[in-house]
Amino acid sequence: MSAILDISHLTVTLPTPDRPKPVLSDVSLSIAEGEAVGLVGESGSGKSMTARSIVRLLPPGAQVEGTIRYQGTDVGTLRGAALRELRAGVPMIFQDPRAHINPVRTIGDFLTEALRIRGRVGRRQAEQRAAQVLGEVGIPDGARRLRQYPHELSGGLLQRVMIASTLLAEPKLLLADEPTTALDVTTQAEVMAVLDELRRERGLAMLFITHDLELAAAVCDRTAVMYAGRVMEVRASAALHDDPLHPYTAALTAARPALDRRADRLATIPGRPLSAFEAPDGCAFCERCPHVREGCRTKRPELRFLSDGEVACLRAEELQAASHG
């Protein structure tokens, strides 16, 4: 399959009162047509910033190096109407729908505005289409819902409205930034089931940002692990889940609670997660890694192919051989 999105050596630096600080460092990642790719890591690792970079939703003064290509077009060259067209065609589902839907306008206004402006569709036709899509995401009685305001809907229903708004744009790529974080566990499962089913039915590609390795393994074909603004490992989700190549990925999987084993205390990763601007010259994970060697502190590992994936670790082959021995 050809890549619908290709990120190559992306580095993003933001201005601060002290000095410009990098938040992403040499990020490379691709998504094929119809493929779901998970992006996981601790808070501050650069997951959301990567998604926002794709549609150029960056703070003023941000400096961007590297390239992002969507369907072969360099996103960095887009301006004006072309950039607006990109953002409409690559919609993002955010964590908290209440922060991104105008509270004083109806659900119908929110869903039909783009159809009426961009698609030049009449109000009645737009409302019929919106009500149809609400039904597809599991919201019955769509005509009534269109007349309601955001405060009249639960968090789960409102997140389904957000999903419906992205589908109305008939995209080929979805950006989902922890879309179930603000929901209770049962509602999370329902919303993810709807999103995954609709994505597969429509053949959509998706970048799915989450803290949950189990969830990424369940809904994504491949998973990329980020730390300190860098990609540490990219691999088929099942393989990464069962046999991680990078020590950071292994530490994350070891820290998960499991129903099939009893533990007095969950495993933890020593130290604290770093931001990209705090990362040392060598491996960003070296100060927390149980397998660190002196070379790890001085030489920065590049993302390279190994086995059936990619990994940024100088000792990856040695550690893999030891784990299989």
The pLDDT-based confidence of 111 (bands split at 50, 70, 90) is very high
Q: Which residues belong to CATH 3.40.50.300 in the chain?
A: 3-91+173-197+205-257+266-278
The pLDDT-based confidence of 263 (bands split at 50, 70, 90) is low
Q: Say which range, 166-170, 173-177, 203-207, has the weakest mean pLDDT.
A: 166-170
Q: Using DSSP bridges, classify how beta strands 36-40 and 222-227 pair: parallel, antiparallel or unpaired.
A: parallel
Helix (H) or strand (E) holding 158: helix 155-168
pTM here?
0.92
Strand (E) positions, the chain? 3-14, 21-32, 36-40, 63-70, 73-74, 92-93, 173-177, 205-210, 222-227, 230-236, 304-306, 309-311
Tell me 259's DSSP state: T
The pLDDT-based confidence of 277 (bands split at 50, 70, 90) is very high
Tell me what pLDDT residue 2 has.
Answer: 83
Q: Which tokens sit at 320?
A: 């893999």
Fold of 3-91+173-197+205-257+266-278: Rossmann fold (3.40.50)
Q: Beta partners for 70?
A: 5, 73
Secondary structure of residue 281 in the 3-state scheme: coil
Residue with more model confidence, 255 or 232: 232
Inform me whether the pLDDT recorded for 33 exceeds 90: yes
The pLDDT-based confidence of 310 (bands split at 50, 70, 90) is very high
The pLDDT-based confidence of 184 (bands split at 50, 70, 90) is confident
Tell me what pLDDT residue 25 has.
Answer: 95
Q: How far is CA 41 from its chain centroid?
A: 10
Overall average pLDDT of the 292-297 stretch = 93
Tell me what pLDDT residue 321 has.
Answer: 87
